[in-house]
């Protein structure tokens, strides 16, 4: 009986918390008071919507279509737009951009590796008023390293944390959206830490394929050496696995695993 009740109570508590988040409510109220403000309704950078609070955006150069960053925005319908200008060099220079009848605009530029672009958007209405330019700031960083190298860095970090039996550091590489359930995965890895020690892992990448949205599929071969604590015997094995990483703001975190488990394999 208790088992049936607890999820219900928990669900109610969570819904209560969900309904008591102050941010969005305050924002809606603020918008309602100033309907004529010159403001952006939304801003997409490479088809990804960017909330006002997200000021730093990071991309891998090779995942940009044609090596270009494209910006799509919509100005509030209440604004009679006279001009839209975009700066990608921290307001040093401005470039005029054509806006449509629906108050949308597009701009794209070729991005270089290892460069950070300071994006600002200036909207001028027919009265000559402009928007709050500072609010539109986005720091767009194009990473210097390739996705292939970034995958290697993340795998090396995971292996280092796994070898050191640092559960917290290891799980920091696993995304909250992990499809096999993050808590379960942590338990499997914890089982490894109880069952084996002196772990060595070597790997070679077979394949790194991005979906050009927010994920990358990584296929690899590995060989593993470890001492079984229960028997004290040294063992080695090898296999291949597929790991899917989520890419968020240039950071990779483990989203799914298929094939032979590289970590969490003892149970």
Partner 1 sequence: MMTSVNAEKHCTSLPIRVPAAFFSCLLVFLFLASAAPAYAADNEVHFSNEFSYTFNDITGPGGDDGSSLTRGFRYLNIFGFTGNGTVKELEYNFNLGFKATDDRRNDVATFSPTNIQGRMTNKIHTVNAGDTFESFSQYSLSTAVKGASYRYFNEQKNSPEITMVYGYVLPRWDTIWGGVETQAIERTAYGMRIKQNFSPNIWAGISYVQAKDRPGTRIMSTDPIYDSNNYTVDAEYKPMQGLTFRGEFSTSRTTISPTSVEGQNEDRTHGTASRIEAVGEGGPSRVSLEYERVSTEFQSILGSATPDREKIKSKWRYTMTKNIMLNLGLLWFRDNLDGQKAYRTDSYAPEVGFSFKNLLGRQSATADLAYKYDRRFGAGNGSGISTADHMTTLNYRDRFGPVDSDANVSYTIYSTEKDQRQAKEYTYNLSLNSRHEIGEAYVLKPVLYLGGMTARDDLALETDQIYEYSFGMGFEFLKLKLNSDFRIGQNKLEKSAAGTDNSSKTFGSFNVYYRPPFLKKFNEGMLYLRSFVNDFRFSTQSRSFRENSITLGVNLQY
**Which residues within the stretch 91-130 sit at the binding site for partner 1 (CB under 8 A)?**
110
Nearer to partner 1, 5 or 127 (CB): 5
3/92 with CB nearer partner 1? 3
Q: Give alpha helix (H) positions in the chain.
A: 2-19, 22-33, 147-163, 167-171, 182-195
Please choose, from the candidates 119, 20, 110, 123, the residue with its C-alpha nearest in 3D space to the C-alpha of residue 69: 110
Interacting stretch for partner 1, rule CB under 8 A, among 32-40, 88-96, 125-133, 167-175? 167-175
Q: Which positions from 17 to 56 touch partner 1 by CB under 8 A, shown as an x/- string?
A: xx--xxxxx-xx------------xx----x-x-xx----
Question: Phi and psi at residue 212, in whole multiples of 5°?
Answer: 60, 20
In the list 56, 96, 98, 197, the residue contacting partner 1 (rule: CB under 8 A) is 197
Find the binder of partner 1 among 132, 194, 251, 267 (CB under 8 A).
Answer: 194
- Stretch in the footprint of partner 1 (CB under 8 A) among 32-40, 83-91, 131-139, 204-212: 204-212
Please write down the HEC assignment for all residues of 251-263: EEEEEEEEECCCC
DSSP 30: H
* Cα separation, 232 vs 200, whole angstroms: 16
Which of 136, 189, 224, 265 forms a contact with partner 1 (CB under 8 A)? 224
What x-and-dash track marks residues 74-93 binding partner 1 by CB under 8 A?
x-------------------
The two tokens of residue 120 are 């600002």
Q: Smallest gap, in angstroms, from Cβ of residue 36 to partner 1? A: 19
Cα 137 from Cα 120, distance rounded (Å): 5
């Amino acid at each position: 009986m208790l088992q049936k009740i607890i999820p219900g109570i928990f669900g109610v508590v969570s819904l209560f918390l969900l309904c008591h988040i102050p941010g969005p409510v305050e924002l809606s109220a603020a918008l309602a008071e100033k309907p004529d403000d010159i403001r952006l309704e939304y801003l997409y950078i490479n088809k990804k919507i960017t909330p006002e609070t997200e000021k730093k955006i990071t991309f891998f150069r090779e995942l940009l279509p044609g090596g270009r960053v494209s910006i799509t925005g919509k100005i509030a319908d209440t604004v009679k737009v006279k001009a839209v200008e975009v700066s990608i060099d921290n307001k040093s220079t401005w470039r005029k951009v054509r806006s449509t009848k629906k108050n949308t605009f597009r701009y794209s530029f070729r991005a270089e590796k290892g460069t950070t672009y300071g994006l600002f958007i200036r909207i001028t209405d027919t009265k000559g008023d402009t928007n709050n330019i500072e609010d539109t700031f986005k720091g767009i960083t194009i990473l210097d390293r390739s996705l292939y190298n970034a995958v290697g860095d993340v795998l090396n970090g995971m292996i280092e944390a796994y070898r050191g039996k640092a559960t917290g550091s290891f799980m920091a590489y696993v995304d909250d959206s992990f499809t096999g359930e993050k808590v379960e995965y942590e338990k499997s890895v914890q089982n490894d830490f109880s069952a084996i020690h002196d772990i060595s892992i070597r790997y070679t990448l077979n394949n790194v394929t991005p979906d050009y949205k927010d994920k990358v599929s990584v296929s690899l071969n590995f060989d593993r050496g470890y001492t079984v604590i229960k028997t004290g015997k040294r063992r080695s094995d090898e296999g291949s696995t597929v790991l899917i990483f989520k890419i968020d703001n240039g950071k990779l975190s483990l989203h799914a695993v298929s094939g032979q488990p590289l970590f969490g394999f003892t149970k």
